Chain A
Amino acid sequence: MGSRASSLLREEEIEEIKKETGFSHSQITRLYSRFTSLDKGENGTLGREDFQRIPELAINPLGDRIINAFFPEGEDQVNFRGFMRTLAHFRPIEDNEKNKDPTASEPLNSRINKLLFAFQLYDLDRDDKISRDELLQVLRMMVGVNISDEQLGSIADRTIQEADQNGDNSISFNEFIKVLEKVDVEQKMSIRFLH
């Protein structure tokens, strides 16, 4: 029950999250209410099964990869801070942020960080490279049983061929950025949060 939602979230915490993620006060309280409604165990953290209970996410072909992105390496539970930190990647880039001081630390929703999020969806073993195998696995998740192994294999080969520049037969993050340089990442990887 979300009835005690905002009373459990202290003002200081809200301020900290605001600074870290850039969400507004009301957005944070609403997302906290959402967090608590997903938290069936009422222990302040979400596990993988809490995410899998969402039907629209369960039918998403990349549902498991997205759920994984919320959990840091080796951990099974995510608290509200971690939840917000991951969601912050999807905050739209506002105009006044575009020309900020370049020496300031990169905001979570910058183009680079959005691209990094997408990169990590492909990089299954978190070794900062997308190997042919990993690409094949993710492709298989997206197409199911509808495309043959050979066809899928050739798609993967072609993709790596075009992206790979240093000849190591895998795609590094920089190569990934290069491939996507013309894609409107800011718009495609943003969710319109209402105020």
Chain B
Amino acid sequence: MGWFLIPFDNLLCMVLGISFTVGFSSLLVIVVPAVLGVSIGIRRLYMKSLLKVFEWATVRMERGAKEKNQHLYKPYSNGIIAKELSSLEQEIQELRASGTTLSSEPEFEMADIMYFCRRGVESIVDDEVTKRFSAQELESWNLLTRSNFNARHISLRLSVLWGLGLFIRYGFLLPLRVTLAASGIGLLVVLTTIVGFIPSGWLRTYLSEKIHLMSYRICVRSLTAIITYHNSENKPKNGGICVANHTTPIDVIILANDGCYSMVGQIHGGLIGVVQRAMVKSSPHIWFERSEVKDRHLVAERLSNHVADKTKHPILIFPEGTCINNTSVMMFKKGSFEIGCTFYPVAIKYDPRFGDAFWNSSKFGMVNYLLRMMSSWAIVCSVWYLPPMSREEGEDAVQFANRVKAAIATQGGLVDLLWDGGLKRGKVKNTFKEEQQKLYSKVLVGDQEDQGEDRPQEDEEEEEGDQNEDRPLEDYTPRPLEDCSLRLQEEEEERGSETPMKDQ
């Protein structure tokens, strides 16, 4: 009876044999250069060929749509509406000018409501904030279901291609990447613990740097991250703080691949905690207990002490406090900018065509997110090191933070917003509505209350102007270092799940 099973047995052995050989050789081809710190250029070649495939796919979809005489859905990269950029005063004056002419004494017109009405409906159709918290839409399809808007226009050939892509991504790339990631983290933990036994000195620092870099290089390859570093002459130096825009926890790996940083964050339990504790054995990272996180002064003190010591690596901080979808930079929390040292701004811009790196933490948990990352084609990004900046005379922390933010936004081609990234989850403060009301009252009854207040700017800027001022304790939540790891801890607790993480 078993005679017809033998060929299957052989077949199975053959298949297993081949997959193991392929897997192992790929591992070798990837890990060895990582350890040595060289790059063969496989990833770039891969990227180029993928681009050609995507273009072909989009052309076919357009052709398919044209045949059916339908429209291909094109995401609105320029917006759904064109907004008027005039201020409240301007618009109301215009309304008055076209309405009934009355005495010059400022008073109410029933038409005034139209200004608020139109502004309100404009924000319903298209607002600056909510769209920053979901993944960017792509112009062309990249063979991932998750970014497909034109499911109806897929021909047979495209479906086959998509199926092939699916098999490659989940059958070959994903297992390979998971193995790589596991080995990268494993190596990091083991080697840093070993180096921790060596007494402090140049040997220990040297080895620790090498180990960190090597592990991050392996992790980078495990995500097939293709990174281009610009302006490396501005790379952060010891005794400074590196600030960057935040899109995903992977940002840390991307930056640490090219230099050694000291991480800041809350110490977690579980696997992440193990990694954190191991890392700190060989080089000084700043981990806080949960109770210490709320204490602004303690945090500021530890940071200042760290930067004062010139032998320690620069600190890596993400002042936005939460992950934004890489189309804009949102408000920088002022806490870290109060420390007096050199700041090294870094702009990170991801190319979403190969895989969107944005972590939508309200939609996906960490494991789900990592799975998606590892089953995308690649993570392609550019990192720009900007010239160092320091706080100038007469500039307070908020202004300095905004200046740094503007520099990062300009370099990365991102929109510079004053809105708080915390709006992802929280409600906007009432004070902004009160400001709008104040503005309108001024138009109605004149400048009786607001003497000497010069508000020539557009409405939007005024709305967030007070955000960073010192408020009474009830209003202010002291969280100066809301980097991703703090958020993660809360989300983990909310969801009650143990997720293995590999950064920070």
Interface residues of A (CB under 8 A from B): 1-7, 11, 25-27, 29-31, 33-34, 37-38, 51-63, 66, 87, 90, 117-118, 121-122, 138-139, 142-147, 151, 155, 158-159, 163, 171, 176, 179-180, 182-185, 188-194
Residue B437 contacts which of A3, A52, A58, A144 (CB distance < 8 angstroms)?
Answer: A144
When distances are taken between beta carbons in the complex, the residues of chain A under 8 Å from B118 are: 90, 188-191
Give the distance to chain B from A168, nearest Cβ to Cβ, in Å.
Answer: 17
A-B contact list, 24 entries, CB within 8 Å = A4-B149, A6-B149, A29-B73, A33-B73, A55-B419, A56-B129, A58-B428, A59-B432, A60-B436, A62-B113, A87-B121, A118-B113, A122-B113, A142-B440, A146-B437, A155-B108, A176-B110, A179-B100, A182-B100, A185-B114, A188-B111, A189-B117, A194-B78, A194-B81
Give the distance to chain B from A60, nearest Cβ to Cβ, in Å.
Answer: 5
A59/B433 in contact, CB under 8 A: yes
- Residue with the greatest number of chain A CB neighbours at <10 A, chosen from B76, B79, B112, B432: B76
- Interface Cβ pair total, 8 Å cutoff: 191
Interface string of B413-457 (1 = CB under 8 A from A): 000000100010001100011111110111011000100000000
B149/A3 in contact, CB under 8 A: yes
Interface string of B117-128 (1 = CB under 8 A from A): 111111111111
A5/B73 in contact, CB under 8 A: yes
B116/A60 in contact, CB under 8 A: yes
Give chain B's interface residue range (CB within 8 Å of chain A).
35 or more
Residue B151 contacts which of A7, A54, A182 (CB distance < 8 angstroms)?
Answer: A7
Interface of A is mostly: helix
B503 in contact (CB, < 8 A): no
Interface residues of B (CB under 8 A from A): 70-71, 73-76, 78-82, 94-95, 98-100, 107-108, 110-131, 134-135, 137, 145-152, 363, 419, 423, 427-428, 432-438, 440-442, 444-445, 449, 463
With the chains together, A163 CA to B111 CA distance in Å? Answer: 12
With the chains together, A139 CA to B423 CA distance in Å? Answer: 28
A194/B80 in contact, CB under 8 A: yes
When distances are taken between beta carbons in the complex, the residues of chain B under 8 Å from A4 are: 149, 151
- Given known contacts A182-B98, A183-B98, A143 and B80 CB-to-CB distance under 8 angstroms: no
- Given known contacts A54-B130, A61-B440, A183-B111, A191 and B419 CB-to-CB distance under 8 angstroms: no
B117/A26 in contact, CB under 8 A: no
- Given known contacts A29-B73, A118-B114, A61 and B124 CB-to-CB distance under 8 angstroms: no
With the chains together, A172 CA to B99 CA distance in Å? Answer: 19
Give the distance to chain A from B426, nearest Cβ to Cβ, in Å.
Answer: 10
- Given known contacts A26-B71, A62-B120, A55 and B127 CB-to-CB distance under 8 angstroms: yes
**Other contacts beyond A63-B120, A182-B100: 5, CB < 8 A:** A62-B113, A144-B438, A182-B98, A183-B98, A188-B118
When distances are taken between beta carbons in the complex, the residues of chain B under 8 Å from A66 are: 116-117, 120-121, 124
Give the distance to chain A from B178, nearest Cβ to Cβ, in Å.
Answer: 25
A183/B99 in contact, CB under 8 A: yes
When distances are taken between beta carbons in the complex, the residues of chain B under 8 Å from A121 are: 113, 117
